[in-house]
């Protein structure tokens, strides 16, 4: 996977005539210097007086010529090998791009398919000329009539990809009415069939109403609450969600939508089920959790889920907490997002990271209460939990859609880039570092098809904008508003003066490869957890995940962000300069 690197150094004679083939920065050998070597030998011989030269000198000059010729041949051989390698790389990247496009098409088609399945419920909005589709379980989305055409195109493409790419078959079959339907699993949990490596597909957004009707009252009670998202800017409520981001009428380019608008969440039916996640080993958290559970059950009549550990703790306190629900195995955790309307976290940022890591697909809105020391992502104060939850349950609320990164490890022995280990979603960052090794990491970095750089230092952080205030900040990265979509590329202690951090656009795939000439393996860790070793030839692929983490805001995402950098980090805190003193008049 790594371009091979030669390190050749040869030197003949002294002064002007010395020939050297050195290895400059970033590992690229200057092959021109090899071509120049033969010329330099000729020059050296011309400088030597020919007359009166004894036989040894003639022999020596012949030997030099032979060496120079050998060097030229080596240079030519290397140049042709490089050209061949470049051609193979080009073919490989083409193939890779084609595969990625196919993958995107499939996931895009999954959305289109969901749209298709709700087409029958679509209604024409006469005022705007738009067709409005209500997704009963998650969002309402306006789509233009042209989408209809795209859906059928997408379905054709899906048929193509189903034939050519078995990886992404989420268990769909076509019924006699030509509609795409879910294959029935023997255990009735067809969603499980949609989880490739434990990551959800968009299939899970389908309505669960039919399930609840057929399964009686219990499931009816568990039906997910629906809500609607709308985008607004500068305090104005611009509820018209246009899909054309860029228009170029009459040669004028205009952008209509910006992804960083404030988002507001309005419940369309009342939330019924909350999941409470708590930081372990904290007495204050335990006490608050018991109070909150009681209040939510008695005053708000909500169904409550907690982790198995917390249920045991609650039952130890009182058997009255018998109504609190939990799960038995990890398989049930994968289905939590289909039952839970709202997640409440009691702890610090680590508990928000923990909550996000439990959802390997869509994430319900999270209300994070601060019971830690820093609390960048936890704007709610626990003392006022009743007022806060009252207002959240009533809605509408401002939310921050925190982007996540999807990380896949591709081992050297993998057949292709889809032959990966279980993908991991991170809310803060993935770090590739030297682990316990005392050697510099040597990491080759690519952005889509382009070589970025080699990281020689302690490692590299690929961070979300939410994670920009965490480890990336400590390594010298910029602080970025969490609503800005992008991937931060921040080196850790690079052994180079000019290696400044980068911010890459959200649509790219970053590939980090451990080259074969690396002195030691590298280690990847995900939101500070789950260390994985990366041996020579292994790669880590990182791209923006389609499932952000919606966290409720105290005021709005900008106000909350600025407050947290002021209160949490004391950003740019300095005594104000006094008026009396030197000044320009
Ligand atoms: N040198 C460093 O700054 C450093 C080193 C290792 C890990 N970390 C961070 O710790 C995170 C894991 O957090 P944890 O609570 O499980 O471990 P932890 O208990 O070690 O706490 C790490 C600290 O980072 C803070 N933090 C976490 N996410 C943040 C964010 N998005 N913005 C601002 N501060 C944030 C936490 O509040 C906590 O104070 C990792 O994702 C990584 O970003 C930082
Ligand atoms: N429900 C949970 N189960 C297991 N571990 C958890 C859970 N919630 C949080 N943790 C872990 O506990 C650790 C501490 O959590 P958290 O950061 O929320 O608290 P804190 O350290 O007191 O807060 P702060 O970092 O702001 O001081 C983190 O490493 C986190 O991953």
DSSP 205-222: GS--HHHHHHT-HHHHHT
For residue 561, pLDDT over 90 is answered with yes
Same domain, 392 and 444: no
User: How many CA atoms within 13 Å lie on the side-chain side of 324?
Assistant: 28
Instruction: Give the Å distance between the CA of 403 and the centre of ligand 2.
Output: 20
Dist. CA 148–CA 139, nearest whole Å: 19
Same domain, 298 and 374: yes
Ligand nearest to the CA of 400: 1
Is residue 47 very low, low, confident or very high in pLDDT (cuts 50, 70, 90)?
low
Same domain, 303 and 382: yes
Which residues contact residue 550 at a Cβ distance below 8 angstroms, ignoring those fewer than 6 apart?
A: 263, 265, 363, 364, 365, 366, 399, 400, 401, 402
For residue 241, pLDDT over 50 is answered with no
Q: Examine the residue annotation and report whether 54 is marked as an active-site residue of this protein.
A: no
In a domain, 360, yes or no: yes
Residue to mutate, 344, 346, 348, ligand 2, most ligand atoms under 8 Å from C-beta: 348
What are φ and ψ of residue 515, in 5° steps? -70, 165
Ligand 2 atom nearest the C-alpha of 353 is 31
In a domain, 554, yes or no: no
In a domain, 308, yes or no: yes
Buried b (16+ CB within 10 A) or exposed e, 530-553: eebebebbbbbbbbbbbbbbbbbb
pTM: 0.69
What are φ and ψ of residue 434, in 5° steps? -90, 0
Dist. CA 41–CA 223, nearest whole Å: 84
- Evaluate: CB of 472 within 6 angstroms of ligand 2: no
Question: Strands (DSSP E) along 333-439, which ranges?
Answer: 342-347, 366-370, 380-381, 397-402, 405-410, 424-426, 429-433
Residue to mutate, 528, 530, 567, 569, ligand 1, most ligand atoms under 8 Å from C-beta: 528
Same domain, 537 and 420: yes
Strand partners, 141: 133
Choosing from 380, 400, 420, the residue where a domain stops is 400
- Evaluate: CB of 349 within 6 angstroms of ligand 2: yes
Interval 47-72 mean pLDDT: 76
- Evaluate: CB of 277 within 6 angstroms of ligand 2: yes
Interval 18-28 mean pLDDT: 39
- Closest residue to atom 15 of ligand 2, CA basis: 350
Same domain, 70 and 158: no
Ligand nearest to the CA of 275: 2
Instruction: Give the Å distance between the CA of 567 and the centre of ligand 1.
Output: 16
User: How many CA atoms within 13 Å lie on the side-chain side of 466?
Assistant: 28
In a domain, 364, yes or no: yes
User: What's the DSSP call for residue 199?
Assistant: B
Instruction: Give the Å distance between the CA of 309 and the centre of ligand 2.
Output: 15
For residue 125, pLDDT over 50 is answered with no
Q: What is the pLDDT of residue 197?
A: 64
Residue to mutate, 351, 368, 428, ligand 2, most ligand atoms under 8 Å from C-beta: 351
For residue 5, pLDDT over 70 is answered with no
The answer to whether residues 336 and 275 touch, using CB atoms and an 8 Å cutoff, is yes
Same domain, 294 and 375: yes
Which of the following is catalytic: 207, 349, 538, 560?
Answer: 349
The answer to whether residues 471 and 458 touch, using CB atoms and an 8 Å cutoff, is no
- Closest residue to atom 31 of ligand 1, CA basis: 467
Instruction: Give the Å distance between the CA of 376 and the centre of ligand 2.
Output: 13
Cα distances from 17 to residues 29, 45, 51, 286, 324, in angstroms, run 20, 10, 21, 79, 85
Q: What is the pLDDT of residue 245?
A: 58
In a domain, 103, yes or no: no
Please, what is the average pLDDT of the chain? 76
| Percent of all residues in the chain with a pLDDT value above 70, rounded to a whole number | 65
> Helix 283-298 to helix 308-317 angle, to the nearest 10 degrees?
80
Interval 435-451 mean pLDDT: 94
Dist. CA 354–CA 307, nearest whole Å: 12
Instruction: Give the Å distance between the CA of 358 and the centre of ligand 1.
Output: 18
Residue 463: CB atoms within 10 A of its CB come to 30
Q: Which tops the pLDDT comparison, 481 or 190?
A: 481
User: What's the DSSP call for residue 430?
Assistant: E
Instruction: Give the Å distance between the CA of 458 and the centre of ligand 1.
Output: 18
For residue 44, pLDDT over 80 is answered with no
Ligand nearest to the CA of 347: 2
pLDDT in tens, 271-285: 999 999 999 999 999
Single out the residue of 352, 358, 466 nearest to residue 404, CA to CA: 466
Ligand nearest to the CA of 488: 1
Single out the residue of 470, 493, 264, 483 nearest to residue 374, CA to CA: 470
Interval 12-17 mean pLDDT: 36
Same domain, 393 and 418: no
Q: Which tops the pLDDT comparison, 538 or 193?
A: 538
CA-CA-CA-CA torsion sign (119, 125, 128, 133): negative
- What is the β-pairing status of strands 441-447 and 510-513? antiparallel
Dist. CA 211–CA 203, nearest whole Å: 15
Same domain, 81 and 189: no
Single out the residue of 138, 139, 122 nearest to residue 130, CA to CA: 122
In a domain, 572, yes or no: no
pLDDT in tens, 264-315: 999 999 999 999 999 999 999 999 999 999 999 999 999 999 999 999 999 9
Strand order in the sheet with 123-125: 123-125, 130-134, 140-143
- Evaluate: CB of 338 within 6 angstroms of ligand 2: no
Residue to mutate, 282, 349, 407, 566, ligand 1, most ligand atoms under 8 Å from C-beta: 349
- Evaluate: CB of 308 within 6 angstroms of ligand 2: no
| Percent of all residues in the chain with a pLDDT value above 90, rounded to a whole number | 51
For residue 231, pLDDT over 80 is answered with no
In a domain, 249, yes or no: no
Q: Please report the ipTM that was assigned to this predicted complex.
A: 0.96
Across 25-39, 48-62, 524-538, least confident range: 25-39
Q: What is the CA radius of gyration of the chain?
A: 30
Strand partners, 443: 455
Peptide bond into 396 cis (omega under 30): yes
Residue 204 host element (H or E): none
Number of domains comprising the chain: 4
Dist. CA 568–CA 375, nearest whole Å: 7
> Helix 283-298 to helix 385-394 angle, to the nearest 10 degrees?
50
- Evaluate: CB of 491 within 6 angstroms of ligand 2: no
- Evaluate: CB of 116 within 6 angstroms of ligand 2: no
Which residues contact residue 323 at a Cβ distance below 8 angstroms, ignoring those fewer than 6 apart?
A: 297, 304
Which residues contact residue 532 at a Cβ distance below 8 angstroms, ignoring those fewer than 6 apart?
A: 409, 421, 523, 524, 525
Instruction: Give the Å distance between the CA of 330 and the centre of ligand 2.
Output: 20
Residue 529: CB atoms within 10 A of its CB come to 12
Cα distances from 454 to residues 366, 419, 514, in angstroms, run 38, 25, 10
In a domain, 294, yes or no: yes
For residue 457, pLDDT over 60 is answered with yes
For residue 485, pLDDT over 60 is answered with yes
Ligand 2 atom nearest the C-alpha of 374 is 26
- First CA to last CA across the chain, in angstroms? 65
Same domain, 288 and 375: yes
The boundaries of the domain holding residue 363 are: 272-400
Q: What is the pLDDT of residue 64?
A: 87
Strand partners, 247: 254
Instruction: Give the Å distance between the CA of 342 and the centre of ligand 2.
Output: 19
Q: What is the pLDDT of residue 66?
A: 84
Same domain, 409 and 387: no
- Closest residue to atom 17 of ligand 2, CA basis: 350
Instruction: Give the Å distance between the CA of 352 and the centre of ligand 2.
Output: 8
Residue 229 host element (H or E): strand 227-232
For residue 432, pLDDT over 90 is answered with yes
Which residues contact residue 511 at a Cβ distance below 8 angstroms, ignoring those fewer than 6 apart?
A: 445, 446, 447, 539, 540, 541, 542
Dist. CA 192–CA 332, nearest whole Å: 10
Instruction: Give the Å distance between the CA of 36 and the centre of ligand 1.
Output: 54
- Residue 493 belongs to a domain with what CATH number? 2.60.200.30
Residue to mutate, 470, 530, 564, ligand 1, most ligand atoms under 8 Å from C-beta: 470
Same domain, 434 and 542: yes
Ligand nearest to the CA of 427: 1
Ligand nearest to the CA of 474: 1
Instruction: Give the Å distance between the CA of 282 and the centre of ligand 2.
Output: 10
> Helix 55-117 to helix 146-164 angle, to the nearest 10 degrees?
130
Same domain, 147 and 215: yes
Ligand 1 atom nearest the C-alpha of 527 is 41
Single out the residue of 219, 349, 337, 355 nearest to residue 276, CA to CA: 355
Residue 82: CB atoms within 10 A of its CB come to 16
Pocket of ligand 1 (CB under 6 A): 348-350, 353, 372-374, 376-377, 428-429, 466-467, 469-471, 474, 527-528
For residue 49, pLDDT over 70 is answered with no
Ligand 2 atom nearest the C-alpha of 278 is 1
């Amino acid at each position: 996977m790594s371009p091979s690197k030669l390190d050749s150094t040869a030197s003949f004679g002294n002064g002007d005539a010395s020939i050297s083939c050195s290895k400059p920065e970033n590992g690229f050998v200057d092959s021109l210097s090899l071509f120049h070597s033969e010329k330099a030998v000729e020059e050296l011989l011309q400088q030597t007086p020919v007359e009166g030269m004894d036989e040894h000198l003639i022999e020596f000059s012949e030997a030099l010529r032979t060496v120079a010729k050998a060097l030229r041949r080596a240079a030519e051989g290397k140049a042709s090998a490089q050209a061949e390698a470049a051609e193979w790389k080009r073919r490989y990247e083409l193939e890779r791009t084609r595969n990625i496009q196919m993958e995107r098409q499939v996931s895009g088609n999954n959305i289109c398919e969901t749209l298709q399945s709700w087409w029958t419920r679509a209604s024409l909005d006469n005022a705007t000329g738009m067709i409005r589709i209500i997704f009963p379980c998650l969002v309402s989305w306006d789509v233009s009539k042209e989408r209809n055409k795209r859906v059928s195109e997408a379905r054709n493409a899906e048929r193509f990809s189903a034939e050519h790419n078995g990886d992404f078959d989420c268990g769909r079959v076509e019924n006699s009415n030509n509609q795409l339907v879910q294959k029935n699993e023997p255990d009735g949990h067809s969603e499980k069939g949609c989880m490739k490596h434990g990551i959800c597909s968009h299939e899970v957004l389908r309505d669960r109403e039919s399930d609840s009707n057929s399964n009686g009252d219990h499931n009816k009670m568990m039906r997910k609450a629906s809500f609607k998202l709308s985008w607004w800017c500068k305090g104005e409520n611009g509820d018209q969600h246009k899909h054309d981001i860029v228009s170029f009428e009459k040669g004028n380019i205009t952008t209509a939508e910006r992804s960083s608008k404030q988002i507001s969440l309005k419940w369309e039916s009342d939330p019924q089920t909350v999941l409470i996640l708590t930081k372990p080993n904290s007495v204050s958290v335990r006490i608050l959790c018991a109070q909150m559970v009681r209040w939510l059950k008695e005053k708000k009549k909500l169904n409550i889920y907690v982790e198995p550990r917390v249920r045991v703790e609650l039952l130890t306190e009182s058997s009255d907490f018998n109504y609190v629900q939990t799960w038995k195995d990890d398989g049930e955790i994968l289905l939590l997002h289909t039952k839970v309307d709202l997640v409440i976290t009691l702890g610090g940022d680590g508990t928000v990271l923990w909550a996000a890591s439990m959802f390997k697909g869509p994430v319900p809105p999270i209300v994070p209460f601060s019971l830690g020391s820093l609390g960048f992502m936890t704007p709610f104060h626990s003392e006022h939990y009743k007022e806060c939850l009252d207002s959240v349950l009533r809605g509408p609320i401002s939310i921050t859609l925190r982007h996540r990164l999807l990380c896949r490890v591709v081992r050297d022995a993998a057949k292709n880039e889809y032959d990966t280990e279980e993908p991991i979603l991170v809310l803060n960052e993935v770090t590739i570092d030297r682990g316990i090794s005392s050697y510099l990491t040597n990491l080759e970095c690519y952005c889509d098809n382009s070589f970025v750089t080699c990281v020689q230092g302690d490692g590299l952080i690929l961070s979300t904008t939410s994670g920009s205030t965490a480890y990336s900040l400590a390594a010298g990265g910029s602080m970025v508003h969490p609503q800005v979509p992008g991937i931060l590329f921040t080196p850790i202690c690079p052994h180079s003066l000019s290696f400044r951090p980068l911010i890459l656009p959200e649509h790219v795939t970053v590939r980090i490869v451990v080259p074969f000439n690396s002195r030691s393996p590298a280690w990847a860790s995900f939101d500070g957890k789950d260390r994985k070793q990366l041996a020579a030839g292994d790669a880590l692929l990182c791209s923006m995940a389609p499932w952000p983490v919606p966290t409720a805001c105290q005021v709005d995402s900008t106000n909350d962000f600025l407050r947290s950098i002021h209160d949490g980090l004391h950003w740019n805190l300095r005594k104000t300069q006094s008026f009396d003193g030197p000044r320009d008049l």
